[in-house]
Amino acid sequence: MTPADRADRPPLHLAVALDGAGWHPAAWREPLARPGDLLTAGYWASLVTEAEAGLLDFVTFEDSLSLQSMRRLEPDGATDQVRGRLDAVLIAARVAPLTRHIGLVPTVIVTHTEPFHTSKAIATLDYVSGGRAGVRVRVSSRPDEAAHFGRRAVAVTEPRDAAFLDTVTGLFDEAADYVEVIRRLWDSWEDDAEIRDVATGRFVDRGKLHYIDFEGRWFAVRGPSITPRPPQGQPLVAALAHSTVPYQLVARSADLGFVTPHDAAQAAQIIAEIRALEADAQQSTGTGTGTGWPGTPLEPRPGAAVLADLVVFLDEGAGVAAARRDRLDERWGRAYRSDAEIFAGTPGELADLLLDWQASGLAGYRLRPAALPHDLAQITRGLVPELQRRDAFRRGYEGSTLRQLLRLGRPASRYAA
């Protein structure tokens, strides 16, 4: 690759998605696995510090409101896989003081939680991490999760049922309103609302705290927040999307979109669809790609950065990773399948794939380690040095906040005069 080629290529962003002992159901049985430590702070701290040593942009933490299940809408009753997990936001908050640069993006199930609570939890995470917080919003259509709360009924529908699309569309429309509420709450304190003037006895300028007065189909939230505006102004909002309806959420509301193409051509098609949806959202609101609000101008939000998800089995040596995948499949008793593309090979081969797919317009990748800590170490100690040798990845952290790492500006409060 020539110097001109390297100069023309945008920076590659890399993240890892952390979940239990890894994404393969039999990963907890691997020799390096630590199943006895999954519910300890030290386990998660060790994974995130390893990711930071590899200069990764951010980590995401999976979460749910029911036991993990291989079935889409109900528990599977499995006893040979990891079941039970810690709260993702609390894990991120625990790990934050132990790290300095890497972004922390916990998952929140927005279908059954209140946006006010999430807004102050993620704002708090942004403070304790020094501006490295984000949130991945996720919807839930599972009746067993709804049963934990008793406030709404969720009908069991199959993907081919006529009611399925209506149900899914409603959940994602609700999620878009949810994001709008948390964004307004983050802005409800102007940046200089805290005066802290001992001489005059004034701690807060009450004129710089704003009611958000949001009223919609699902939420009526007056505000303001009880937490001052976060260090990033707006922590990053992310969403995983597999089809048009969730692509609309990414286009309308998210800073980061995680997608699941199976080749470069499909990645290009997905990105084109998201960009078209962003243009439609901007045209319909006249206020950028987010949803608007009466009488308040909104600077256009940059298009969402789109990252491809990949499940990775990584080892040095031809065929070693594929053999390990086969061994894990045999232990589980069936072949592992995923919504995302599954890669088994060497770090060099994965680097080839990542750079090939990048030409489709992807901003980067969220890699799902098949087995922890093995595949995470292969990413940080094998893949990252390989990309650095090709001048395709940073050699040091650039910036102190997650927005700076992803080269996103800090937005002004929509309520500031």
Sequence ranges of the domains in the chain: 3-281+296-405
> For residue 293, what pLDDT band results from cuts at 50, 70 and 90?
very low
| The CATH number fitting domain 3-281+296-405, selected from 3.20.20.30, 3.40.50.2300, 1.20.1740.10, 3.40.630.30 | 3.20.20.30
333: left (phi over 0), alpha (psi -120 to 50) or beta: left
* Residue 257 to residue 247: CA distance in whole angstroms: 8
| Amino acid letter for position 32 | L
Whether pLDDT at 279 is above 70: yes
Quick one: average pLDDT of 41-47?
98
Quick one: average pLDDT of 62-69?
92
| Amino acid letter for position 386 | E
* Residue 112 to residue 395: CA distance in whole angstroms: 41
| Structural Rg of the chain based on CA atoms | 21
Decide: 250 and 270 in contact? Cβ < 8 Å: no
* Residue 303 to residue 129: CA distance in whole angstroms: 25
Quick one: average pLDDT of 281-303?
56
Quick one: average pLDDT of 307-314?
98
308: left (phi over 0), alpha (psi -120 to 50) or beta: beta
Whether pLDDT at 150 is above 90: no
Q: DSSP code of 401? A: S
Q: What is the pLDDT of residues 230-267, one digit of tens each?
A: 999 999 999 999 999 999 999 999 999 999 999 999 99
400 or 3, higher pLDDT: 400
Mean pLDDT of the chain: 92
pLDDT at 146: 85
> For residue 159, what pLDDT band results from cuts at 50, 70 and 90?
low
CB within 8 Å of 187: residues ≥ 6 apart: 210, 212, 229, 233, 234, 413, 414, 415
pLDDT at 157: 61
> For residue 213, what pLDDT band results from cuts at 50, 70 and 90?
very high
Q: What is the pLDDT of residues 349-405, one digit of tens each?
A: 999 999 999 999 999 999 999 999 999 999 999 999 999 999 999 999 999 999 999
What's this model's pTM, rounded to 2 decimal places?
0.93
pLDDT at 160: 66
pLDDT at 393: 97
Quick one: average pLDDT of 179-184?
98
* Residue 10 to residue 393: CA distance in whole angstroms: 10
CB within 8 Å of 231: residues ≥ 6 apart: 126, 127, 130, 131, 401
Give the number of C-alpha atoms closer than 13 A to the C-alpha of residue 265, restricted to the C-beta side: 0
414 or 154, higher pLDDT: 414
pLDDT at 142: 86
CB within 8 Å of 128: residues ≥ 6 apart: 93, 96, 97
Q: Which residue has the tokens 């996720």?
A: 138
